[in-house]
Structures are given as C-alpha cells and as structure tokens.
Structure 1
C-alpha cells in the first residue's frame, strides 16, 4: 500500500511540474484600426398616414411607398438595394388623457411602411434624399455610411492587431528578462466598422451637401506565446 501511495505522489509531482512548465507563456491583446473612406450609404425612410378608416390609411401609405420606389428606380437604385423592413397598422386612440373619465375609443388608424435603401453612388446621395422625401416619404430614420467590400480594410486592421500583440509580447519578455518563444495560439476577439451616422435633424436639409467622412475599421486579437528556455 505504501508503494502505491509513493507512486501516486510521484505521478502528482511530475504532473504538476509538467503543468507548471506548460504555463510558461505570455498572453497579450493586440488592437488594429484602419481609416478608410466609405463608398456606400444606407438610408432608412418611411411613409406614414392616418385616416379614420384603416383601409384608407393603408391605401395612402401604399401610394406613398409606390411613389418612393418609382423615384428610387428612376434614380438608378437597383431593386436588390431596396428592402421593406416593416409594415404596420395601429389604432389611434382618443380619450386616454389623465383627466378624461370617458372610456377611450378608436378614432382612426395609422399605417406605416419603412424601407432600407442602399445607395452605392455617394455623389448622388443628396439628390436621392431630396427626391424621396419630397415625393412620398414623410419619415426619415437617418443614414449610415459603409463599405461595399469591407474585407481589405478588415484584413489590414487584423494584420495591425497581430503586429501590435507581438510588439506588446516582446516588450513584456524584455522587461521580464526572458526570451519570447513561438506563438502557441491566436484568437480573434472581434472587430467592426464604426459607421458615420447622419441624424434626422441634419437630413431635413436635403439640399445641403452630405459629408461622408471616414470609417474606422477595427480588429482585436489575443495571442499566446511560449517562453523559450
């Protein structure tokens, strides 16, 4: 029995020594960011109408959306770049005030239809906004700028993040007086293109130039390095 216990203790010690050796690593985080000019805009517009009759409210909304779609087609927007993302019909209530003791009742209906539109020609963006708002759309939920092909910028940001993580690991190794070993693992923590947003107040001035600015595409990685003997 004593021999068995001794063998178990030796196995535990060896296992702990191996684990301690395996833990000789340096783990760093790296960040990368690339600034690039956008080449696409996504706008969110809609048509909303109220009427005592539900069918009339929906008919007026549908007519407005048809006019917007026609304008977009005339402006060269492809059908694949236009998507309906919400259609709703809600009752309009009256008599719901705090001081009103009369029972609430439905006095009409509000119909709404919202569209998401991608504009791939930024030079035409201001004119398209003016067209659709002046000829049907009466709600505007803002716009964002993006990239039609984000991969090159994302690749560049990711490569910068890896370089940053390696540089940080080398600094840590130098400061600790150890030799940085080979990479054991790399994992990506996530990245994104931060869009430039145009708010509703600015969008009301449709005849004003629209400034696209730049997008920041970011990446983050985690790298585990071994510590060389």
Structure 2
C-alpha cells in the first residue's frame, strides 16, 4: 500500500473527520434546494410597485437678484477705479435700503480688454471694460422694487435676473408629501380594483424631489440707465413645490 493510500484510509477511519466530510457533502447537496426554495417564495408574493407625486403652490417670501456695475476706460486702472467708485455707491444704497451685509455677495468680477476689428487689419486695442456683480437676497418682497430702484439710481447699470424662493420650505414640502401619499393610495386602490388584488401591506416607501428654487434667474432688464419716478413693479407669483414618492405594496386576493 502506498503512503497516499495509507493516509486516505486513516482519514476514513477517523470518526471526527468522517463526520465533517459528510456534513460538507450534505450541505453541498442541499444548497441548490435551498436556493430554489428562496426563489419560489419570492415569486409567491404578489406586489404593486407604484409611484406618485404631490404638489402644492405657495407665494414666495424672498427673492435673489443679481445686479452690478460695468465701466469702460482707456486703461485697465482707470476702468477698475471708476468701477470701484460706482460700486461703493451701490453698496451704500443697498445698506440704506435695509439689505444686511450677509445678504450681499460678490458673484462676478471681470476686467476685459476691448478691441476694434477691421478687415485685413490686426485687432486694435481700444480700452478696457470692468464689471462687478453682486447677488443680493431680499427677505422683504415689499421692498424689492424700491431696492432695485435705489441701486440703479446709485450707479448700477446691469440687472441680470431675479429668482424667488422660500426662506423655510418645510411646511410647503410637508403639504406636498400628504398629497403624494393620497395619490399613491388612490393608485393602489385603482390597481386593486382592476386586477382583483388588494394592497394589504406597505413594504417600502421612498421619496425623491422637493422644493428647489429656479435654476436660472428670470431676466428683468440689462444696462438700465434711467431715472425711475415710481418703484419698479415686480410680480412674485407662486412657487410650485413637488414631492415624488414610490412604494411597494404586498397584494392579496
């Protein structure tokens, strides 16, 4: 008998090792059966996978507006100096209008060379253009038009856009959530009547979406250079707050 045969015989004669080997073989044989049982049970449950949304409309209580100063001069230094002087006047006007420092943020600062172009001629430098823009948050919409007027009268000559929002969107979101759940339940009942099954248990529920201000501000006007006797009229309208949800229901006859 070879050494390999002697070792195999010794293993077979060991009660502990024999039991371990037998257990492994039994588990290997049972694994496909267990997997099959799990797959069968997954298909025994009838489920509805549904989605719905809820919306609410609410008046905004804040606005974000971008405005600034654009100046031109023969040299870069002169363009920046003129821009800085006028921008200081705009900032003073914002402060006088009741806009807090935390609600004013520089959003764009540029200095560009200006060229004249003629056919078959190299570009000719004609001067420099400096621009400085700030984004301001107005928390009292009743003052919005007067604030725009004050900044324009103080020297702001670019007003690029405005967007409206909510200081605290929680209440509007919750109202939209309630509408979304109502719509989801109504849809589950409708499918139940159509299929003869009834939703008996909510398995999971997930949410997506929610309040978000407009991605881009709505244009107002640009290069404003006029005196305003009356406050600029700005209509805030309403904001749409939407909540999307999806759920899985277990259904039964």
| TM-score, scaled relative to structure 1 | 0.87
Query: How far is the alpha carbon of 1:159 from its aligned partner?
Result: 2.1
Q: Determine whether 1:51 maps to 2:73.
A: yes
> Structure 1 or 2: larger strand share?
1
Instruction: Structure 1: state its 5+ residue gaps.
Output: none
1:53, distance to aligned residue in structure 2 (A): 0.5
Supply the distance in 1 between the matched residues of 2:238 and 2:103 (Cα, whole angstroms): 22
Pair 78,66 (structure 1): closer, same or farther in 2 beyond 3 Å: same
More displaced, 11-20 or 144-153? 11-20
Q: Quote how far apart the aligned CAs of 1:151 are.
A: 1.1
Give the secondary structure class of the aligned counterpart of 1:101: coil
Q: Distance in 1 between matches of 2:240 and 2:217?
A: 13
Q: Does 1:227 align with 2:246?
A: no
Preserved CA contact (<8 Å) 1:46 1:140? yes
Query: Are 2:175 and 1:156 equivalent residues in the alignment?
Result: yes
TM-score by length of 2: 0.79
Secondary structure of the 1:76 match is coil
Matched, 1:169 2:188: yes
Indicate whether 1:217 and 2:236 are aligned: no
**Secondary structure, in 3 states, of the residue corresponding to 2:233?**
coil
Q: Contact between 1:67 and 1:135, CA under 8 Å: does it hold in 2?
A: yes
2:220 aligned residue: 200
- Alignment match, 2:3: none
Describe the SS at the equivalent of 1:200.
coil
Higher-Rg structure is: 2
Q: How many residues align?
A: 223
**Cα-Cα RMSD:** 2.5
> Quick check: 2:200–2:251 contact (8 Å CA) kept in 1?
yes
1:134-149 equivalences under 5 Å are 134-149=153-168
Q: Which one of the candidate residues 113, 116, 121 is aligned to 2:140?
A: 121
Deviation at 1:107, TM superposition (A): 2.2
Secondary structure in 2 matching 1:16: helix
Q: How big is each residue's C-alpha offset from its partner over 1:117-169, in whole Å with a ceiling of 9 and x where there is no partner?
A: 11111111111111111211110111111111111111111221122112211
Q: Does 2:103 align with 1:84?
A: no
SS in 2 for 1:192: coil
Q: 1:20 aligns to what?
A: 43
CA 1:203–1:168: 2 relative to 1, 3 Å: farther
2-side partners of 1:167 and 1:184: how far apart? Answer: 17
Matches within 5 A, 1:83-122: 83-95=105-117, 97=118, 100-122=119-141
* 2:13 paired residue number: none
SS at match of 2:64: strand
Residue 52 to residue 108, structure 1, CA distance change in 2 (3 Å): same
